[in-house]
Structure 1
């Protein structure tokens, strides 16, 4: 039985989840807050947060229950969260490689997945920040929320419970690597479209072709031809 815990305020749900794993014996344990003070993003980035407007959510999942690679697990988690939001909003939601979630050209979810050993068990720590009710993003021009992108005020508690149930259900039935790659590329943001990239502090046009099973993104660049990149080696400007 998956558990979902709540904290009125915390620094980071990815950090605080460890305390709950010491006392609960479950394959899936969730933690959420609507007031996260020191959220972390991918590769040391920060995730800014407006109290009582957004959701910080972490799910701890025992690694022993999964046979897929870390890359496939990351991709599949992004797919599940994408599907959840597409169903919730009745919109075409995209995945910006490797695992940001985009709705109508604005980032509404950032995902950070870590691996930790706690109380002799190894876990995937799935952290996700959801912009839900925030209306202004002065410092981040490419960020939005469910409210700004749909005009709908979603209930924070109800959305969190639905998310937990959906994510746990889907993680118990992970499809094949081939299916994961097919669906990830199907919903890949800016795929097969001319986009602007920043590489080595220079800008050039390129077309995203596909992501691969090693976690790389293949881009056909205007000046340099078809190349593959890991995260942070190239930046998509949008």
Structure 2
């Protein structure tokens, strides 16, 4: 079945293995445009971080990908992640309230439960960061989950159905606004706002690094994207270096 297009920058797919994969295909075929968004009602092999699978009930949740031209150096990739996470968080706050936070590095949490995640994949040629595919998954109207540690959906919090397509358009718009602001105004304002909305900021947490269990305090995230923790002595962690123990 051919995809439905609602406009030049929006593609609706009844079903697809992964919207990120579909977006990557468009890039490799030379069909990408900045802001082009691919959404599906049924993602059969959704991607999470480090090879994990994002499982979702068909039609109940939000699975989509936004293609962007970053206009940044690849070394600044955390800036795009921060701009995206802040945009998603700000739109979810309108539904869930101010207990919606960004859990470093790429998740959205309501209280201590996961409501969404972000996966950004890049196309780099030579030294140029040509394209980024921003994959976003949000638990919207699903109420029963299997095999997930601590999920929560918008419906479970509010008791109400949310229009998935309307939410997708709102998030897409805010993500693209933040991307434009990042390119035109720099990272400082987004960086400050990101840290203010950080999950467990200035609170004690337990992290696991290999066999080591670390009891520490979250002080923030630095501009390189490292989690900064510590009480008397600060310690910084890269993406994938530690696991949260919740």
- 2:224 is the alignment partner of 1:214: yes
- 2:92 is the alignment partner of 1:82: no
What is the match of residue 137 of structure 1?
145
Q: Is the Cα–Cα contact under 8 Å of residues 99 and 111 in structure 1 kept in the other structure?
A: yes
Distance 2:210 2:30 in 1: 48
Which blocks of at least 5 consecutive residues in structure 2 are unaligned? 1-6
Displacement of 1:166:
2.6
- 2:17 is the alignment partner of 1:15: no
- 2:107 is the alignment partner of 1:100: yes
1:24-74, CA deviations, whole angstroms, 9 ceiling, x for partnerless residues?
56321000112101111112222112111111110001234x479211111
Say what the alpha-carbon RMSD is for the aligned residues. 2.4
Q: Is the Cα–Cα contact under 8 Å of residues 26 and 32 in structure 2 kept in the other structure?
A: no
Deviating above 6 A after TM superposition, structure 1's stretches of 4 or more consecutive aligned residues are: none
Superposition TM-score, scaled by structure 2 size: 0.86
Displacement of 1:173:
2.0
Q: Is the Cα–Cα contact under 8 Å of residues 14 and 58 in structure 1 kept in the other structure?
A: yes
Distance 1:137 1:105 in 2: 16
Q: How many residues align?
A: 234
1:149-168 map, 5 Å: 149-168=157-176
- 2:166 is the alignment partner of 1:172: no
Distance 1:159 1:177 in 2: 26
1:61-91, CA deviations, whole angstroms, 9 ceiling, x for partnerless residues?
1234x47921111111111111111124333
1:140-163, CA deviations, whole angstroms, 9 ceiling, x for partnerless residues?
231111111222210122222222
Which blocks of at least 5 consecutive residues in structure 1 are unaligned? none
Distance 2:223 2:124 in 1: 25
Distance 2:245 2:67 in 1: 32
